Structure 1
């Protein structure tokens, strides 16, 4: 069995790096016959390189997204049987370490993930990432029963997916008398804290507890062994260490507190542990689920005094240590003096710790990991399916319009939001009110809700207010309800025409129909003046819906044909071998162009339009659907032939256009493969994307504004949420007759007094 270990790794000075190395070596020692088989994939922090040992066969650069994909390819191509990943949010790239999801979803073998941190109050991103890791992994490992409880209760992780394997401890023993002599500590009462230094370690509490102790026991010294954490140095320098030095001087403890500003080797560390009388972890907060330093201290048989953070409460149970309250310097002082006054209490604590330490040596911990890896290698199919090729409606969130209501006032829908809060500074725009009208009309078709009728009137009213006397529109309106431009972009014009056409086809009442018709025909003289191909495409779609209600209007059919011919002409101008597209680049809203050609083909029964639509659709798919999921053209740098497309920033409106394109392709052709592509495109919103994280926010019921290079853009503007909901409604549409061949349970249909649509 060949195992790949993924995480930080020595000589990088990092607690998880030490853990990774100890785990690797413990399994190597258990299986000497395959010692050369196992490999390490190390994570490099930005700006640093390390002289890794020979077992490190691949290096992931923390903030380089591509290196995670390359690592997955390396694993898949090197006969690896199982991956063991060490997870901590800060060691992987992207927002909250989101890049690890890319790797996990691309490896084709079983994965075990060890969680070194389980947060009680995670941010939205942290929660989503952990849940997605759980979904991708075959097993997750934690080191305490408290962590098991939190995973089950807070993150709803199935019990059968969780394994509890304690933190391992090196089986290193030193003669106490000899090391005290070697370190010059003979005749001293030695207190010790070790590990990276930072404010959350609460060392000031321990220092403040010392004056009474040294007055009673003047031979007491407190050794603080460890460098300042690199992240602390990066952001705050040595401010905390200098604060501790000042506190020592203020309390006249210069002869009793020793700072050893070094990253101790494992052997030196165990010498200090063996030489100490009492080990202190005066951390300031309970939210630490795993402490490697605490495990080492208990494992070597130290008497430990600690604040009651989660790992300490569990590990020091059974007489293995003493607890004192957070910031409880007086309580700590009393405990220290009591223990120093009663050596038998100290020895009893050491004995209990030593006995427990025998059960968590690295050979035993490594054996637990090895047994788990062996079981998975023998019982998990070699090719693990990480992504669903088709959509399962049972796992979709309910359709909720809360965020749309939050963004809408009596004038219309606001363009932007900061996170999930409307941004009044940016005001309103025609684009989004047109999309909102389209979405609410689609929602009304499903809900027949009175609330939907109310919002349809608001958005239709905005379009009416925005229209100029010549039929053009204004676009941007400030919060003061004054327009900021005189004429909108052609793109905004086209989106308004699409929405108005749909309103004529699916209006809930005659008054709305008449208003939409009046606005549509007032704008019609502008149709043939349009120059933008996307505006032409949007207008063709609007004409298509108008003709659904007026199929015998020969004038509009001819106008549709003229506009489609202009699109086709652009296609002929730019079409080259290997480049089957309407312009010299792939930019934004790309799928709307073949979608419009499909609509035009249906209206005019023109085979040339049909061939152009399907050929250009195939070309677009070749650049966006070759990874098994939708990977959109990012708008940082749009894609030109022979250049490299931008992987980010990917926009929800592009995903929506793909969903609508494949819906119409299925309607037009009846080929089931287009339904599969529709579902694949829709799942971009729910995490089947390049970063493997959902853009849909399950708390606000909005949609994030895009996929950035380091994660999702958590702002949730109107465009993004409308794109998600329109796509959702399109997907739901495919599960109605005549689109599906099975009969749905009619009792699952939505009630007419709510806009919330439950998943089917």
Structure 2
């Protein structure tokens, strides 16, 4: 596979960039939470809800600077779900059946990290004071815990970063962010694999973003530089012939063969988030081009030239295969679409908008 830094092919077709919409998220949400799966656009109630998706829902709804009453109601529902999922020690259940019974015990897996990401974002950004206050209480309780999983700590770090930007004196957030970098580890100096682990799995860019924000907000320039080096490499290896070709769900082992499919929207969304953060921290146009590539992936500038969302429903497709998109429009893929399109407002997207 050939790679290039951030060059969008000159012959790529001009694609109009849509405004993000919460229409399908509303469709997937009831008065309990966000249903995890869908058959095409129809929610599958039998599969219930998960904290992972509800937390991501709280992230995207809290990012809205002027949310509509409908979007604010979504945020309220997601916050209520997360506070119900949390136990007295700060851990979280992940899976709730449609009958409103938990099917697992509270834990500190990825869902704990994502819950803190959502709570930190709501506490820092929500226009509703009661949401900010309740989210901060739940965040502080959760931030008293530490996960043994580096990726869970990375997700939690993003919530801590949101709070530290709003309140630099927030001690629980600062402590969590510092420990997250220690959990992720040093990427090392090998330019062929500047990554702290021997395998890339999923949502990989969250690790780089967590290192970047830890260095930036804790006043550690060397750590910030390490995170930027991780992200630059991760972006470079996922560009093929001028378009984004993200790592597949099977991941990639160092020294092993790399597959091309199936590609998941979550990879694109986390890469867009990380590039947007890097652009804000550095002011480097390189990272804005990274966000461009992520937006373009959803619009069809990918390995099989397939549009990865349904304009009729506002839902994101669940995955990209060699035969084209998986047309189911579950919560994770729809949230990835919304999250990526939200980033278009923070970067220059002239090539995509056709201006």
Same topology, TM > 0.5: yes
* Residue 634 of structure 1 pairs with residue 248 of structure 2: yes
* Residue 701 of structure 1 pairs with residue 334 of structure 2: no
Distance in structure 1 (CA, Å) of the matches to 2:115 and 2:172 = 20
Contact 2:23–2:313 at 8 Å: present in 1 too? yes
- After TM superposition, give the deviation of residue 538 of structure 1 in Å: 0.9
- After TM superposition, give the deviation of residue 489 of structure 1 in Å: 5.3
* Residue 402 of structure 1 pairs with residue 19 of structure 2: no
Number of residue pairs the alignment of both structures matches: 346
Contact 2:194–2:229 at 8 Å: present in 1 too? yes
- After TM superposition, give the deviation of residue 554 of structure 1 in Å: 4.7
The equivalences for 1:286-685 within 5 A come to 385-387=10-12, 395-443=16-64, 445=65, 447-488=66-107, 490-526=109-145, 529-554=146-171, 556-569=173-186, 571-572=187-188, 576=190, 578-635=192-249, 637-685=250-298
Distance in structure 1 (CA, Å) of the matches to 2:18 and 2:235 = 27
Deviation string, structure 1 residues 18-42 (Cα, Å, up to 9, x no partner): xxxxxxxxxxxxxxxxxxxxxxxxx
Pair 452,555 (structure 1): closer, same or farther in 2 beyond 3 Å: closer
Deviation string, structure 1 residues 155-202 (Cα, Å, up to 9, x no partner): xxxxxxxxxxxxxxxxxxxxxxxxxxxxxxxxxxxxxxxxxxxxxxxx
Q: Secondary structure at the match of 1:633?
A: coil
**TM, length-normalised to structure 1:** 0.44
Distance in structure 1 (CA, Å) of the matches to 2:33 and 2:24 = 14
With CA pairs under 8 Å and 6+ residues apart, which has the higher RCO, 1 or 2?
2
Q: Secondary structure at the match of 2:320?
A: strand
The equivalences for 1:223-234 within 5 A come to none
**TM, length-normalised to structure 2:** 0.92
- After TM superposition, give the deviation of residue 558 of structure 1 in Å: 4.0
Distance in structure 1 (CA, Å) of the matches to 2:278 and 2:347 = 12
Contact 2:143–2:172 at 8 Å: present in 1 too? no
- After TM superposition, give the deviation of residue 646 of structure 1 in Å: 1.6
Runs of 4+ in 1 over 6 A off after TM superposition: none
Distance in structure 2 (CA, Å) of the matches to 1:510 and 1:387 = 45
- After TM superposition, give the deviation of residue 400 of structure 1 in Å: 2.2
Question: Where does structure 2 lack aligned partners over 5 or more consecutive residues?
Answer: 3-8
- After TM superposition, give the deviation of residue 488 of structure 1 in Å: 4.1
Question: Where does structure 1 lack aligned partners over 5 or more consecutive residues?
Answer: 1-65, 70-383, 742-758
Distance in structure 2 (CA, Å) of the matches to 1:553 and 1:525 = 13
Distance in structure 1 (CA, Å) of the matches to 2:74 and 2:171 = 33
- After TM superposition, give the deviation of residue 645 of structure 1 in Å: 1.2
Deviation string, structure 1 residues 425-454 (Cα, Å, up to 9, x no partner): 1100000100111111123x1x43111221
In our comparison, the structure showing a higher alpha carbon Rg is 1
Pair 555,451 (structure 1): closer, same or farther in 2 beyond 3 Å: closer
* Counterpart for residue 89 of structure 1: none
Contact 1:568–1:609 at 8 Å: present in 2 too? no
Q: Secondary structure at the match of 1:707?
A: strand
Q: Secondary structure at the match of 2:63?
A: helix
